[in-house]
Homo-oligomer: A and B are copies of this chain.
């Protein structure tokens, strides 16, 4: 599977809107972990890693930011700024997040627990593994 935007259900209501995501339904994996990044100074940059075997789904719950992906050959940039869609990122894709707006809030759902050994933190090593695969 390749990285792509997935639109989520949105229930409009005068008392507030609601969006939801179910594992193996809106996203093609099981949710084992959720994490969120907050209090990000505007304009900040994060990331610079790939996961050997982890799938993720990234949503801009508040504000906006850009996710820059690299598959070993080319770079793709996705701008996220809505609570009702997100970006599916398969394993072995290099990712960075930049261009955070002030008060941006990113929610990430992942299909596995945190495991430092699943991280690839060197871009050249990533490209070597990717292009050998």
Given A17-B38, A44-B16, decide whether A105 and B22 contact each other with a Cβ distance below 8 A: no
Give chain B residues whose Cβ lies under 8 Å from the Cβ of A105.
61-62, 105
Is B39 a contact partner of A17 (Cβ separation < 8 A)?
yes
Give chain B residues whose Cβ lies under 8 Å from the Cβ of A14.
41
Q: Mark A34-57, 1 if CB is under 8 A from B, else 0.
A: 111111110011100000000000
Question: How many monomers of this protein are in the complex?
Answer: 2
A100's partner among B16, B32, B61, B62 (CB-CB below 8 A) is: B16
Q: How far is the CB of A108 from chain B (nearest CB, A)?
A: 9
Q: Chain B CB within 10 Å — which of A16, A21, A107 has the most? A: A16
Q: Chain B CB within 10 Å — which of A15, A25, A46, A61 has the most? A: A15
Is B34 a contact partner of A17 (Cβ separation < 8 A)?
no
